[in-house]
Chain A
């Protein structure tokens, strides 16, 4: 199985901050990566797929980048509704696997 290692596991940030979350795959996943946001008691919500493609309805302050084994989710100008847990997931092959999550908390 491909292991997805996310960092950091948590971070504290303020409204307006730029936040960066990274995900490292245990092998090249050829850009087959998605990012999700999850709020307490809710299902994960797809933000980005194929490294940098924004899902419909997702604000443009979210962006993704990377290649090979290293990928990044960036939130520009953090908003109150962005405090949540974020997960990466590869879909290069089966089984798809997820990162362990990054919790973005209020500083």
Chain B
């Protein structure tokens, strides 16, 4: 059974860097799937952040590209999200997911990240 689990700080200061990790189990992160980050907020709904392949190739949402980095660590079977220069607008539930031919499935349970001083 494929499982994903997000971890990281639930509170980040404005202008700081949001850093999250997604642990993958039940499937090889080095397979044929892409690995995705999505966030959800009342303000913006569901927003696709970007994705990474095990080779390190990435695709990012242009609206976030200047601030986001997604990376993969095959040895630890995990991938990570870094978002710099955060503001209150980045407050959201962050989900990681496996991208199966375009559709995210399954999703992790999500982690609420609040940007506040």
A60 within 8 A of B: no
CB-CB < 8 A to B103: which residues of A?
Answer: 34, 46, 49, 89, 91
Interface residues of B, dominant DSSP: strand
Q: Which of A17-25, A66-74, A75-83, A94-102 contacts B (4 or more CB under 8 A)?
A: A94-102
Complex contacts, B106 vs chain A, CB 8 Å:
43, 45-46
Is A84 in contact with chain B by the CB < 8 A criterion? no
User: Which residues 63-117 of B have a CB within 8 angstroms of A?
Assistant: 63, 95, 97, 100-110
Find residues 43-68 in chain B having any chain A CB closer than 8 Å to their own CB. Answer: 45-48, 59-63
Give A65 to B107 CA distance when docked, in angstroms: 24
Contacts of B46 in A (CB 8 A): 44, 87, 89, 98, 101
Q: Are B61 and A95 in contact (CB under 8 A)?
A: yes
CB-CB contacts below 8 Å: A17-59 with B? 32, 34, 42-46, 49-50, 55
- Residue numbers in A under 8 Å from B95 (CB-CB): 43-44
- Say yes or no: B102 contacts A95, CB within 8 Å: no
Within the complex, the shortest CB–CB distance from B70 to chain A, in Å, comes to 13
- Knowing A32-B102, A34-B102, A43-B95, say if A95 contacts B48 (CB, 8 Å): yes
Count, chain A residues at interface, CB 8 A:
21
Task: Name the CB-closest residue of B to A95.
Answer: B61
Chain A residues near B101 (CB, 8 Å)?
Answer: 49-50, 91
Q: Name A residues whose Cβ lies closer than 8 Å to a Cβ of B.
A: 1, 32, 34, 42-46, 49-50, 55, 87, 89, 91, 94-98, 100-101
Further contacts, 15 of them, CB under 8 A, given A45-B106, A46-B103, A94-B61: A43-B95, A43-B110, A44-B104, A44-B107, A46-B104, A46-B106, A49-B100, A49-B103, A50-B101, A55-B105, A89-B48, A94-B60, A95-B63, A100-B45, A101-B45
